[in-house]
Amino acid sequence: MIELKNAIFSYEDKVALDGIDLSIKKDEKVVLLGSNGSGKSTLLRLLAGLYFCSKGEYLFDGELVNKKRANKEFRKRVGILFQNPESMIFNPTVFDEIAFSLREFGFDTIEDRVLQISKEFEIENLLKKQPLELSGGEKQKVMLASILVYEPDILLLDEPTASMDPKSSGWFVDFMIDIKKSVVIATHDLNHAYEMSERAVVIDENHKKIFDGDIEVLLEDLDLLQRANLIHKHKIRKNFYDTKYHLHNKE
């Protein structure tokens, strides 16, 4: 479904992605791991047709994606959720927020579709509320519902649990496990990554892909995880003379 060939993207003269090769099949879930500034968000925006390769190629269903190809029909097939849900909210009520894309893409039975997905997401009680008054987790749920309601072929998620409390994060992980769709989830949370997908792709701080494979293999490679700045070690002082090292996620 998706294929990147030696994709390079630069902001003016600053490289954000450097020679990325990536293939994603239909209904495959991939977690995209990397520290802040590694290029995860840039890669998602490139896959969504919001950015375009400075060099290299992006193929979607075998067709080259460029400014002409990234039209309404393409955007109907690709849904992206940004890390900050407030950047996507501009409608007066939750109902209108979820219904907006349905109206844009010319769907029928809009009200039925909104009610159906709001039940699935357990947000029926929020439909008349103003989105900006919701909690961070509720906003993220609403924006995810507003994307999935038009049934895109691929879902791109940028740090989706960052605004969620533990209960909402648990709901989200369960939802991602069950969903039958191509999904790319950018995160630096190794615990959630392990729960949501068997395949991990790692981008390092030089904006290069340094791993693409089984996440269990990745989690055993502490040197690579440190190199990608996904974990770090520090001393835990037991007493004045005794210290030991401890590895954990980098927050």
Give the model confidence (pLDDT) of 85-132 as tens digits: 777 888 999 999 999 999 999 998 999 999 999 999 999 999 999 998
Return d(Cα 184, Cα 190) in angstroms, integer.
15
pLDDT (0 to 100) of residue 245 = 45
Of 53-57, 84-88, 145-149, 240-244, the range with the lowest mean pLDDT is: 240-244
Taking only the tens place, the pLDDT of each residue in 164-197 is 888 888 888 898 888 999 999 998 888 889 999 9
Return d(Cα 45, Cα 87) in angstroms, integer.
14
Q: Which residues contact 217 (CB under 8 A, 6 or more apart)?
A: none
pLDDT (0 to 100) of residue 234 = 65
Provide the β-strand partners of residue 7: 20
Return d(Cα 160, Cα 11) in angstroms, integer.
24
Provide the β-strand partners of residue 246: 234
Our CA angle for 147, 213, 17, nearest 5°, is: 65
Q: What is the pTM of this model?
A: 0.89
Q: Where are the alpha helices (DSSP H) in the chain?
A: 40-47, 72-77, 94-104, 110-120, 136-148, 166-178, 190-196, 215-219, 222-227
Main-chain phi, psi angles of 132, to 5 degrees: -70, -10
pLDDT (0 to 100) of residue 236 = 59
Return d(Cα 173, Cα 160) in angstroms, integer.
10
pLDDT (0 to 100) of residue 242 = 52
Neighbours of 60 (CB within 10 A): 19
**Conformational region of residue 3, where left means phi above 0, alpha means psi within -120 to 50, and beta covers everything else:** beta
- pLDDT of 46 > 60? The answer is yes
What proportion of the chain, given as a percentage, has pLDDT over 90? 65
pLDDT (0 to 100) of residue 217 = 96
- pLDDT of 157 > 70? The answer is yes
pLDDT (0 to 100) of residue 165 = 82
Residue 73: name the closest of 118, 115, 104 by CA. 104
